[in-house]
Structure 1
C-alpha cells in the first residue's frame, strides 16, 4: 500500500504539544547577554550625533555601539538593482526610515538593555522625506543622493511587440488605478537571533529564526571575513515567516558583531512594535491598467503599468515587478498584452517578498479588470472569465510575458468553486435583496488565478542508512509549520519501504547539509521533496548492489518489496534481507554507511491554478462588511499528504 496520499498525522506535532516549541528566544547559552537597538524616530534626516556616555554608565550595560565603533561594511542590495543604494548595518550620517537602527545596547538582561537604550541621545536634523511613489518618481528629493535617482530597478515593457497595445479597435475599454497596500507580515515569532564565538574568535555559531539558514551563513561569512565553513547557522523552531524572514536583517547580522565585541554570547529578539515599524514590509505596489475587448465578451487587449515601492533600501521587494510579470495576464488568452514597471526607493521600511511575492498583485489587477469589463458590457463575471480562459487543449501555453504554463483546466476550477458556493442561488438571493430594498446587500466576488511556483535555486537532499536499518534524511529546506518533516519521511518511506517511525528528518542546520535555497515560493515539495525522492531512489540502487552480493544474484534480478521493506530475488520471495541486514554488512566490512545525495534543480517553474469565491454582506447604512462564506478550489497536483495540504489552504485563507 502506498504511503503517499494518506492522511498521515504530522510527526512534528507531538513534540510541539507535549514539550513545547523551542525558539531562538528560548535558548539557554552559557553567559548569554541581551541586545536592544536604538532606532530613528524620523523618516529622513542627517544624523549629527549619537551620545552614548550616559547609557554606558547604566546598571548591567556591557557596551553601547554605533556605526563608528561596531565598524562593519555596508550591505549591498540584490545584484539586479542600483548598487549605489547600499545599507549600513547601523545608520551612518543619514537615517532613511522610521525604525532604522542607529545604535545597539548590550546588557546583562533584556530589561537592562531596554532601560539603557532610553539614555542614548540621538541628534537628527530632520529633512523632507519621500514617502509616496508619485513623489519618488519626480526625483526632486533623493533617498540616496549618491545614486542620483530614486529608481532602483526598471522593467521595460514586455509582451505585445512594437510597444504598448493599440486599443483603437476595441469596442469597450476599461481603466483603473489600483493600490496593493503596504502591510507587515507579523509572524507570531518576531525576528530573533543569537551569536556565540569560539574562544579564539575564529568560528561562529549563530542561531536565527529564518527561512534561509544558508543565506544567513553566507551573509555572516562575507560581513565578518570568515570562511563559510567557519560559520554554523542553526535554525530551531520558527514561529512563521511569510517571506519576512527570507533575507538576513541588519540587526541579526549585527548580533554577531556585538557578541564579538563583548566577548559573550548575545541574544536579540525584537518587540512587536519593532516588528511592525522596523522589519521588512510587503506588497506596496501601485498599478494602472487598461483592458479592452468586444461587446460580446471577448478580451483582446490588456496593458499593465506597475510602480513598486522598494522602501529605503532595495531588497528582493524591488524585484517584485518581475514576479508580477510572470503571470500578469492570469488565466486568460489575450492576444495583445504588455506590462512595464519601475521600483522606486522611498523613506519607508524596506519591502521584501510576502506571501506570493508579486503574483497575488498580478491576480488582483487582472481580476479587477475582468470584473470592470464584465460590468461594463452587462455580462455575468463568471461567464466573462469562462469565455476568455486558456482552453485545456491549449496547454502548454506561453503567455505574453514568455511564461509557459505547463498544465491547467481553469474552467473546471471555476465550475467547481461556483458549484460549491451555490452560485446561482447566491445571484438569485442578491437580486431578491436588491428588488426588495433590503439594506443588507450581498456581494459575490470571484477570483480565478494562476501562480508560478518552484522559483529559485536547487535544493539538496541527503539520505543515510543508519546501523540499525533506520534512515536519516537531511534537507536544506527549513520548516516552520509546513509539515516538511512528515512529508519528507513519507517520500523516503514510499521509495524505500522503511516505516515512517524509522525515519528521522534533520533540517535547519548548515553543519548538517552543505547547501539550500530557501523555504518560500511554494517550492519546497517540488524541489526539496524531489531531492529527497531522488536521493532515496539512489540509495535503493546502492542497496541493490549489497543485496545482490548477499543473495548471490545479479543486481538486475533484485527486487525491493516496499510493502515489507525487504529485498529478494525476482520470482523467489525467499530468502530475503532487510535494510538492517544491508547496514550490518557495510559495518562488518568496515565500509562507510550507505548514503545518497541529490542536488535537485527544476528546469522551469510549475504553474498552479484555482478559483476562490467570496460571499460578503454589507450593511448599506453603516458600511460594515461581514464575510459570510469563502470557497477555495485549488489545483493540488499529486497530494503527498491531504491533511497537510488542507491545513496549508486553511492557514492561507
Structure 2
C-alpha cells in the first residue's frame, strides 16, 4: 500500500480491514513490525557515504514521514496477487501533506527540508583544482551555459522481482539482480545471519541497466516476512509500480564555463553539478562524482575543475543507469564545444581535432584525476564523418538554407570517453573451471545475467583458451552456492574483468594439467606440452591424453581464483543528422552514426547489439524521455508508457554502428566495456544537430528531451527577441 502524496507526515495506518479479506495472509504497517530492518546503504564504488546517511534512516515501511510518492506504508500478503491487491484496497492511511521539492534548485533553498534540522545537501565533492581568474580574463573566447539532465527511468523489459523461500535454517532468494553476492551479504546483515545461511539465485533476467543492484525496501520486507512466517513470499513489480517507485537515472542541473585562445586551443573548463539523488542518500549520493571525474572528456584542456552538490528531493532515489554519470559529463562538454565553435566562428569538427589528446600521450592523466589507458580519438571521429558522408550533408544544409520551403537541417557530433570495469577496489572477480571425467568443463564466475550475452561469450572464450569445442563448456553464474564469492555485472565490466578472469583460470588449468601429466608419466613438467585440450610429451607427442582421461587417472580437477584488472576507458564519436519542422516542433533523425572503441572485440555480434541498444536509449534521452511532475510532486505515470515516452520501432532512425580498435593495456585481453556507448555519445550528437538546424535559437532553450513543445517554445522565444531587436 503506497503513499499517494510526495511528502507528508504519516499520522496513522490501519490494516484491520485488510486482514479480514478472504485469501489475505496478513497485513502490516511499520508499527506492526517493530523489528523490520531499515534499507541498507552501500559504500560500493563510492555510491554513498556514512556521513551522508547519518541521521537519515530509510525505513522499509514508512514510520513517520513520507518522502517520495509511492513510498510503502503497509505490506499485504495474499495467497495470490489478486487477493493481496484486494487487501491493499482496504488499508487506510492518514497523511498530513507537506510541500514537495522535485528539483535540485528548489531543494537547495532548504525552505522544505526532507529531514528536520538537516540540510538537503548531503554530499559535496570536487575534482581538479580551481581555475585562476587570470585564465578566464586572458582568454580570447569564454562561453557559459546551463543544462538540465532530466530524470530518466531505466525501464527494463522485466521489472524488479524477488522470491524468498525459507528451508530449515536457510533462506533461498530468487531475484533478477545484478549483484547476487551483494544481495546475499546485505540480506544476511539485515537478518543477523551468517552469509552461508542465504543462497541467492539469479535466473535469466530481462534487462537491468544498473537499476537492479541494491536491496530495496520491498526486498527487505519480503525476506523479513518469509522468515517471520516460515513460508515463501514473492513480490513481482508491475509496470506502473515500477514507474512510480523504481530507481531513476541522471537528474543533474549543470553550469559550465569553457575558455579558449584565438586559435581555438582550450584553456580551462569548469563544471558545477547540482545532482538530484532522490529522497534518501543510501544508494547514490556519491554517484555524480562519476560526472566530475570524467569532466575533461577527450581534450587536452590544461585546467579542469568540477564541483558537486548531491541534493535530496521528494523523488525515488537516483541510482546508476546505463552510463552512470558519464553521459552527463559527455553531454555537458560536447554541447559546450559546439557553443565555443560558434563563438569562435570555427568548424566544430576542427575545434575538436585541434584539442584531442594525441595517441602518443597515453597513458594520459587528466586534470580531474583520471588516467586514460589508450585512445585514438581522431580516428574514431574520422570514421564517423566518413560513414556519415559529412560533406554531402553540409552541402544539403547549405542548399536548404536558401530554400524557404525546405525543413531546417542540422549536423551534430559528440566525442566521448568513458570509464569501464569499475572503481579501485572493485576491479576484480572470482571464478573457477572444473573438469569432469567425460571431459566437460564447467565455468563459474561471480557475474549475473541480464541480457548481455554471457552464455554466448564466456563459454566461447574458455573453449578458445583451452582449445576445446564450445559445446564442451558450460557456464554457471548468478548462484551464490555455486560460486561462493563474486561482484556481479555492472559498469560494463563483464568482458573486461570476467573475460580476463577466464583467461587466467584457463592458464592455471593448463599448468595444473601439465603438472599432473608429468607426475603420471614420470617426466619433468617442461617436457609436457598442451595442445587443443590435451596434454602430450613435448618432443614427439608419443604420449597423448585429453582432459577427461587425465581426470580419470588423477582425480577431480577444479581451478579457482580471484583475478584483478585495471580500469579501461572506451571512447567514440557519434554523429547525427536531423531536420526540424518549425510548424510542428518535430525532430526527425535522418541518420545516426556511432563509432565506438571498446579495444579488442570478443564477439562482434554482441558488441553490435550493445551499440544499437544503447543508442536507442540515448535517442530516448535526447527526444522523448523525462519524468514530469504535478505541482504536488506526484509524477505523471498513471497511463504508463503513454505518459512516459520511449522510442519504439517506428522512431528508430537509420543507424550505422562502426568501431575502431585500440586495445587496453590494463586488461590481458585488451578488451574495454562496450555496453554503455550509445547512452553516452548519442544524446549530445542529437542535441547539437538540432541546435545546428536552428542557428537563430538560443541553445540554452534546447534542453532535453527535445519535445515538440520545447522546440516550439524555443522558436517563439527567438522570434520574440528578433522582433524586439
Q: What TM-score do the two structures reach when normalised by structure 1?
A: 0.90
- Greater Cα shift, 223-232 or 542-551: 542-551
Given that residues 471 and 498 in structure 1 are in contact (C-alpha distance below 8 angstroms), is that contact kept between their aligned partners in structure 2?
no
Matched, 1:72 2:72: no
After TM superposition, the structure 1 = structure 2 runs for residues 185-196 of structure 1, keeping only pairs within 5 Å, are: 185-196=154-165
**Corresponding residue SS for 2:221:** helix
Distance verdict in 2 for CA 1:152–1:607, change over 3 Å: same
Counterparts of 1:446 and 1:580, CA distance in 2 = 54
Describe the superposition over 1:264-312 as per-residue Cα deviations: whole angstroms up to 9, x where unpaired. 2111101111101111111001100000112321111110001110100
Alignment partner for residue 210 of structure 1, among 166, 177, 198? 177
- Greater Cα shift, 639-648 or 208-217: 639-648
Given that residues 449 and 611 in structure 1 are in contact (C-alpha distance below 8 angstroms), is that contact kept between their aligned partners in structure 2?
yes
Distance verdict in 2 for CA 1:536–1:631, change over 3 Å: same
Structure 1 position 466, deviation (Å): 1.2
After TM superposition, the structure 1 = structure 2 runs for residues 268-279 of structure 1, keeping only pairs within 5 Å, are: 268-279=235-246
Matched, 1:174 2:137: no
Alignment partner for residue 256 of structure 2, among 289, 307, 311? 289
Residue equivalent to 1:8: none
Given that residues 164 and 303 in structure 1 are in contact (C-alpha distance below 8 angstroms), is that contact kept between their aligned partners in structure 2?
no
Matched, 1:531 2:501: yes
Matched, 1:230 2:194: no
**Corresponding residue SS for 2:414:** strand
Counterparts of 1:428 and 1:580, CA distance in 2 = 66
Structure 1 position 165, deviation (Å): 7.5
Matched, 1:300 2:267: yes
Describe the superposition over 1:182-231 as per-residue Cα deviations: whole angstroms up to 9, x where unpaired. 011111110111011124xx211111111111111111101111110000
Given that residues 159 and 400 in structure 1 are in contact (C-alpha distance below 8 angstroms), is that contact kept between their aligned partners in structure 2?
yes
**Corresponding residue SS for 2:205:** coil
Describe the superposition over 1:587-623 as per-residue Cα deviations: whole angstroms up to 9, x where unpaired. 4xxxxx1111121122x41111110111112112211
Residue equivalent to 1:122: 93
Matched, 1:55 2:18: yes
Structure 1 position 105, deviation (Å): 0.5
Counterparts of 2:270 and 2:598, CA distance in 1 = 30
Matched, 1:650 2:612: yes
Given that residues 27 and 75 in structure 2 are in contact (C-alpha distance below 8 angstroms), is that contact kept between their aligned partners in structure 1?
yes
Residue equivalent to 2:58: 87
Residue equivalent to 1:262: 229
Describe the superposition over 1:105-141 as per-residue Cα deviations: whole angstroms up to 9, x where unpaired. 0011111111110110011111112222122112222
Matched, 1:364 2:331: yes
Given that residues 54 and 119 in structure 1 are in contact (C-alpha distance below 8 angstroms), is that contact kept between their aligned partners in structure 2?
yes
Structure 1 position 546, deviation (Å): 1.5
Runs (5+) with no aligned partner, structure 1: 1-37, 588-592
CA-atom RMSD, angstroms? 1.4
Counterparts of 1:164 and 1:127, CA distance in 2 = 43
Counterparts of 1:650 and 1:139, CA distance in 2 = 42
Residue equivalent to 1:594: 557
Structure 1 position 326, deviation (Å): 2.0
- Greater Cα shift, 477-486 or 301-310: 477-486
Counterparts of 1:241 and 1:315, CA distance in 2 = 19
**Corresponding residue SS for 2:32:** helix
**Corresponding residue SS for 2:296:** coil
Counterparts of 1:617 and 1:174, CA distance in 2 = 26
Counterparts of 1:315 and 1:302, CA distance in 2 = 31
**Corresponding residue SS for 2:208:** coil
Relative to total residues, which structure has the larger strand share, 1 or 2?
A: 1
After TM superposition, the structure 1 = structure 2 runs for residues 37-56 of structure 1, keeping only pairs within 5 Å, are: 38-56=1-19
Counterparts of 2:131 and 2:572, CA distance in 1 = 32
Distance verdict in 2 for CA 1:48–1:165, change over 3 Å: farther
Structure 1 position 161, deviation (Å): 5.4
After TM superposition, the structure 1 = structure 2 runs for residues 76-155 of structure 1, keeping only pairs within 5 Å, are: 76-79=40-43, 80=49, 81-145=52-116, 148-155=118-125
Given that residues 53 and 282 in structure 2 are in contact (C-alpha distance below 8 angstroms), is that contact kept between their aligned partners in structure 1?
no
Runs (5+) with no aligned partner, structure 2: 44-48, 616-725
Matched, 1:445 2:407: no
Counterparts of 1:83 and 1:164, CA distance in 2 = 37
Given that residues 165 and 301 in structure 1 are in contact (C-alpha distance below 8 angstroms), is that contact kept between their aligned partners in structure 2?
no
Residue equivalent to 1:355: 322
Counterparts of 2:54 and 2:455, CA distance in 1 = 39
Alignment partner for residue 624 of structure 1, among 586, 611, 622? 586
Q: What TM-score do the two structures reach when normalised by structure 2?
A: 0.82
Alignment partner for residue 365 of structure 2, among 390, 395, 398? 398
Residue equivalent to 2:545: 577
Matched, 1:501 2:492: no
Aligned residues: 604
Residue equivalent to 2:347: 380
Given that residues 153 and 247 in structure 2 are in contact (C-alpha distance below 8 angstroms), is that contact kept between their aligned partners in structure 1?
yes
**Corresponding residue SS for 2:108:** helix
